Structure 1
Amino acid sequence: MIARRELLRQAAQRGKYAPLHSYLAGLTGLEWRATFGDIERILGFSLPDSARIHRPWWANQGQRGGHSHALAWEMASWKTSQVDMVNETIAFVRAEA
């Protein structure tokens, strides 16, 4: 039987937001600051309107799993921080192991 975390990791690697997962997995350092535009360039498509309107879109979900966009960063061992909806910027910080 495959562990839940492994199933979530596999989903992040093959889902719509897999390019973000791959990018974050390849980063070194403890923090990455980005604009929403930076993220769109990595993804190759525009973020949904809800990412610009609803702050909870950027919420971390932990082991609950759920939204494919959150799995992209969480399964790459990152968490969102300092989401600025007005200036469309965000910081990703390394999640504790």
Structure 2
Amino acid sequence: MTTAKNDINKRIQELTKALETKSARLNDISNTVIDETGKGHMVISTEAHADYQKTLGEAREIKSLIEEQKAHLDIERFPRRAERAQLCGPGRRPDRARQAVQVPV
């Protein structure tokens, strides 16, 4: 795997960990919501709500960055896949490319 692909995979891993952290924070904030009356009247503090909104926005941004990095990785892989497809021909598996192009002697 090339350095670019390694860097992209490393970045995806870092972003995934960051997203997991944000997700845990969102769960923690959600757990502060209380049923004030016992009849489904849920209450959250203004500070907790603001923190939730901020954290949710950050999580969405991280998720978007992960999707972008995955698209970048797909673009990095495309030339190699296209080259293998040309060698194999239509309907052939890349791992059988040699079999498809061997000529009996």
TM-score in terms of structure 1 length:
0.24
Larger RCO: 1 or 2 (CA < 8 Å, sep 6+) = 1
Give the number of the structure whose residues are more often strand, by fraction.
1
**More helix by proportion, 1 or 2?**
2
Q: Looking at CA atoms only, which structure, 1 or 2, has the larger radius of gyration?
A: 2
